[in-house]
A and B are shown apart, each in its own frame.
Chain A
Amino acid sequence: MNTRILSQLAAIFAPLSLVTIGGGQAIIAEIQRQVVEVHAWMTHSQFAADFAISRMAPGPGSLLVTLIGWQVGGFWGAVVATAALLLPTGFLIYGVTHIWGRYRGAPWQLALERGLRPIAAGMMLAAGWVLLKSLNGGLPAKAIAVVSLCVLLKTRVSPLVLLLAGALALLGVNLIGADLPYWLQVQLT
């Protein structure tokens, strides 16, 4: 049990807990910055793979931090990272549960809801952008990301099916790879 890593995990995720606005996706870009760029615990493509796992697995997508904690600091790493992300807002919600209903529709509540919406949207967009940039596999992988975006905006396909299709599509491009121009080939790092 490495207490230095455990305290680093807590120091990263506890503050992020309080700025997770609009759901866990909002802090993906910052988690990537901390884990890949600041602490260099993993590479860009390892992070992208972890993100994919968190979307494949059942339960809240934010369990991504549990997985990162596990990889970086073992069992206690997983526990500390998860608890750090959950407890601060957990107590906040618990407290607000008592007072929020009484002030339903108050100006400060409306201002909070409306005011945080554009910030949350900016965070969500940044998450997608950062993941797109860290993808492993060169141009074909980026194309798959854009196609899956279009499919999701038009249809209600199940995420699991989409991930499977993405995996097979990149495999397909890889199999015919040698005949393609270099910039169209799958490049793994």
Chain B
Amino acid sequence: MTASSPHTSPRPTLLGLFLIFSRIGLTSFGGGLSGWLLREFVQDRGWISEEDFLNGLAISQALPGINVKNMAIWIGHRLFGWRGAALAVAGVLVPPAFVIVVLGSVVGALILHPLTQVLIAGAAAAATGLSLSMGVVTARRVRRQGLPLLLMAATFLAIGILRLPLVWVVLIGGSLSVFCEYVAIRRGAR
């Protein structure tokens, strides 16, 4: 089953699952958590098959929710049912949640000083570049066709410029878009 992996650990445990997710949560900076998950669970330990992992990844990305949390639920559920899912999510979120609150308090104290205020504004500017680049990268993956491009532009306009409530924009734009794709796929199938 997992014989191809040379580092297969004897068997997963609940505590081990929690600790691996904590470690990934605490040591991953700026995204890319899925890559670490693949390495820890598929390549290093062989607790999950690669096909299973990739199916989970597809679901995590297609459905709403933070990708890594979705992956934690998928992997945890595969290994230990609902207890595994709960512990995996706790592992990947709770320890970094403490870190961000501490970091936020430190920055909140520093921002009173003019010099650190400039430094924080500079870091915020660079972080905005990070956000812009994610936008550009996802936009590049959109099919170069009239309707998808139009829907992308309309979503940007509605949320970024007109500041309309997001939930309604996604419900209306998303169902329209999915419906059109569904019709297109059905037509293509015939």
In the bound assembly, the distance between CA atoms of A10 and B121 in angstroms comes to 29
CB-contacts of A150-182 with B (<8 A): 151-153, 158-160, 162-171, 174
| Residues of the A chain whose Cβ atoms lie less than 8 Å from the Cβ of B137 | 153
Assuming the contacts A117-B148, A119-B177, A137-B125, asked whether A149 and B62 have C-beta atoms less than 8 A apart, the reply is no
Total interface residues on B, using CB and 8 Å?
A: 99
Say yes or no: A111 contacts B182, CB within 8 Å: yes
A96 CB-CB contact with B under 8 Å: yes
B36 CB → nearest A CB, Å? 12
Say yes or no: A149 contacts B155, CB within 8 Å: no
Most buried by A among B66, B70, B73, B122: B122
Say yes or no: B64 contacts A124, CB within 8 Å: no
Size class of the A contact interface (CB-based, 8 Å)? 35 or more
Task: Report the number of A-B residue pairs with Cβ-Cβ less than 8 Å.
Answer: 378
What residue in chain B is nearest A188 (Cβ atoms)?
B117
Say yes or no: A107 contacts B65, CB within 8 Å: no
Q: What residues make up the interface of A, taking CB atoms closer than 8 Å to B?
A: 15-25, 27-30, 33, 37, 45, 48-64, 66-67, 70-71, 78, 82, 85-86, 89-90, 92-94, 96-97, 100-101, 104, 107-132, 135-137, 141-142, 144-149, 151-153, 158-160, 162-171, 174, 186, 188
Can you report 19 residue pairs joining A to B where beta carbons are below 8 Å apart?
Answer: A17-B65, A33-B163, A58-B28, A59-B25, A60-B69, A63-B96, A70-B101, A111-B181, A113-B61, A114-B181, A118-B148, A118-B152, A119-B155, A120-B138, A122-B151, A123-B159, A124-B135, A125-B160, A169-B126
